[in-house]
Amino acid sequence: MDTPKHDRMSALEIRAALSLSSLFALRMLGLFLILPVFAVHARDLKGGDDLLLVGVALGIYGLTQGMLQIPFGMASDRYGRKRVIVFGLVLFVIGSLVAASADDIWIVILGRAIQGTGAISSAVVAFAADLTRDQHRTKTMALIGGSIALVFALSLVAAPALYRVIGMDGIFLFIAALAAAAIVWTVYVVPPEPAGARDLSRRVKAGMLAGVLRNPELLRLNFGIFVLHMAQMSLFLVVPLALVKEAGMPVGEHWKVYLSVVLVSFVLMVPPIMLAERHGRMKSMFIGSVALLAVVHAGFALAYRDFWMLVVLLTLFFTAFNVLEASLPSLITRLAPVHARGTAIGVYNTTQSLGLFVGPWIGGWIAKNWGVAPVFVFGMALFALWVVVAWPMRAPGDLERRSFPLGRAADPVALREGLARLRGVRDVTVLPEEGIARLTFYRGMLDENAVVQLVAGESMLSPDNR
């Protein structure tokens, strides 16, 4: 077993968590800045008086993201994370420039669609998993999720001010500049990739995707992220209306509510994540958070006309939402095969994007035909169903961490590939300069003889260990 110092985040892990969460935040700020102001600006565009087209302009990003998350994730498994991230950011810059030049709603739709083709989320999350050990994975994902929540709140404050000063065209140009800065950040600040991630001889096989799609545990998590974001988009289709109509709060003042509840929820999410990680209660925390969201939506349906109840319920919503946003990708990276991690995250992000795309449509249809309260009831039903689906889930069991001495003939790249395919292995770090290979594995599942042979360079994998 590793000594206690290995239970702390290393300098590399801290750098990876901070740099990748900052990269995500920089990218997402550029995305969120248009949300509070675009619907108002669209009235000045040719064809912008058609609310359906305005909705398409906002939602088309999620559709193209959903279509390309899996290919980008698979590409990152073969060609390396940084290459894919930089390529995606270049596409995002191009799409932003196209949108900035638009005087017609259809050109904005084209620009937003091109922005969405830069589907880097899979590569970024897989990269974070590559650079962090299993016991620090949820904390890293929480930092990424928290940074997104904070920039979302910041965008609600900054967007109206920016729109007044530089207009919508200027915001799109600013977004392009943020994406360009993210490229520089990726190249020079984000840590280098592990050697295995740059192995261009690695083949991406169709069976890799099929294996991910057949994995019942991954399917449960993918269903969950779809429900989470479908309900989120439905919720925020009607909450702003409730703040205006029921609480008499002007749209320009809504940021005060959102900023407050996001900051408070960010603080409240930390203790349950830390306790669950420390005491092995990930499943209890996970299902409890989903159940809390069902209760919160029931509360919305009953009390959305009461301003202070709305604020309390929004705070609870964001707390549970942030906990799940952190734990879902963490569980995906733990349960997916190491060599197909980018592929698994690609499938996960595809279902997330589809939830973002479908949610407003279903929520809008329900609100149009039956009113506001049934939208909340719909969300409650979705989360109740998720509890049922998640109940049999297999959370990762007890983990052990061991270091094995390397043989002189060991090839670090081939060794990492071989060890990653052994039964029960969750993470592998090969450190030639220290002469060791560090393995994180499920207790009782590891074939130590196979490990010893591999690190000594004496044999290749047998079929039984694949």
Which pLDDT value is given to residue 161?
Answer: 79
Grouping H, G, I as helix, E, B as strand and the rest as coil, residue 57 is: helix
Which of 169, 107, 103, 125 has the alpha carbon at shortest distance from 24? 125
Task: Tell me which of 219-228, 311-320, 425-434 is least confident.
Answer: 425-434
Which pLDDT value is given to residue 95?
Answer: 94
Mean pLDDT of 251-258: 74
Contacts of 278 (CB under 8 A, 6+ apart): none
- How confident is the model over 406-433, as pLDDT tens digits? 876 667 777 877 787 676 676 788 887 7
Report percent pLDDT > 90 for the chain: 19
Q: What is the mean pLDDT of the chain?
A: 79
Mean pLDDT of 94-98: 95
pLDDT bin (cut points 50, 70, 90) of residue 200 is very low
Which of 87, 84, 340, 336 has the alpha carbon at shortest distance from 202? 340
DSSP state of 400: E
Which of 11, 255, 18, 32 has the alpha carbon at shortest distance from 142? 18
Give the CA angle between residues 460, 465, 466 to the nearest 5°.
90
Q: Which residue(s) pair with 400 in the sheet?
A: 441
CA distance 449 to 80: 31
Q: Print burial letters for 376-406: b (CB count within 10 Å at least 16), e (below 16).
A: bbbbbebbbebeeebeebebbeebbbebbeb
DSSP state of 104: B
- Taking 60 as the threshold, does the pLDDT of residue 462 lie above it? no
Task: Tell me which of 132-136, 196-200, 231-235 is least confident.
Answer: 196-200
Which pLDDT value is given to residue 421?
Answer: 67
Q: What is the set of domains in the chain, with CATH numbers?
A: 9-196 (1.20.1250.20), 215-396 (1.20.1250.20), 399-465 (3.30.70.100)
User: At how many degrees (to 10) do helices 341-370 and 51-79 cross?
Assistant: 170
CA distance 436 to 421: 18
- What residue type is assigned to position 8 of the chain? R
- How confident is the model over 109-133, as pLDDT tens digits? 999 999 989 888 888 888 887 887 7
In degrees and rounded to multiples of 5, residue 427 shows phi and psi of -145, 145
Which pLDDT value is given to residue 443?
Answer: 63
Dmax (CA) for the chain in angstroms is 74
Mean pLDDT of 56-65: 79
Which pLDDT value is given to residue 380?
Answer: 94
- Taking 60 as the threshold, does the pLDDT of residue 460 lie above it? no
pLDDT bin (cut points 50, 70, 90) of residue 217 is confident
- The segment with the largest mean pLDDT, out of 320-329, 334-343, 422-431, is 320-329
What is the β-pairing status of strands 399-405 and 436-442?
Answer: antiparallel
CA distance 229 to 440: 32
Mean pLDDT of 434-462: 71
Please list the alpha-helical segments (H only) found in 189-281.
206-214, 216-245, 254-279
Which pLDDT value is given to residue 399?
Answer: 64
- Taking 90 as the threshold, does the pLDDT of residue 93 lie above it? yes
Which of 217, 218, 190 has the alpha carbon at shortest distance from 343? 218
- Taking 70 as the threshold, does the pLDDT of residue 71 lie above it? yes
Phi-psi region of 403 (alpha: psi -120 to 50; beta: other; left: phi over 0): beta
Which pLDDT value is given to residue 4?
Answer: 42
CA distance 248 to 241: 10
CA distance 447 to 425: 10
Which of 141, 154, 153 has the alpha carbon at shortest distance from 322? 141
Which of 400, 349, 72, 63 has the alpha carbon at shortest distance from 228? 349
Grouping H, G, I as helix, E, B as strand and the rest as coil, residue 33 is: coil
- Taking 90 as the threshold, does the pLDDT of residue 293 lie above it? yes
456, containing H or E segment: none
CA distance 426 to 294: 32
Structure tokens at 345: 């995250």
Residues 375/247, Cβ–Cβ less than 8 Å: no
CA distance 180 to 171: 14
Q: Tell me which of 405 and 37 has the higher pLDDT.
A: 405
- Taking 70 as the threshold, does the pLDDT of residue 135 lie above it? no
Residue 272 neighbours by CB distance under 10 Å: 20
Which pLDDT value is given to residue 107?
Answer: 93
Which pLDDT value is given to residue 280?
Answer: 63
- The segment with the largest mean pLDDT, out of 85-99, 202-216, 366-380, 418-432, is 85-99
pLDDT bin (cut points 50, 70, 90) of residue 201 is very low
Which pLDDT value is given to residue 202?
Answer: 47
Which of 255, 231, 251 has the alpha carbon at shortest distance from 377? 231
Which pLDDT value is given to residue 2?
Answer: 45
Task: Tell me which of 44-53, 288-297, 303-312, 382-391 is least confident.
Answer: 44-53
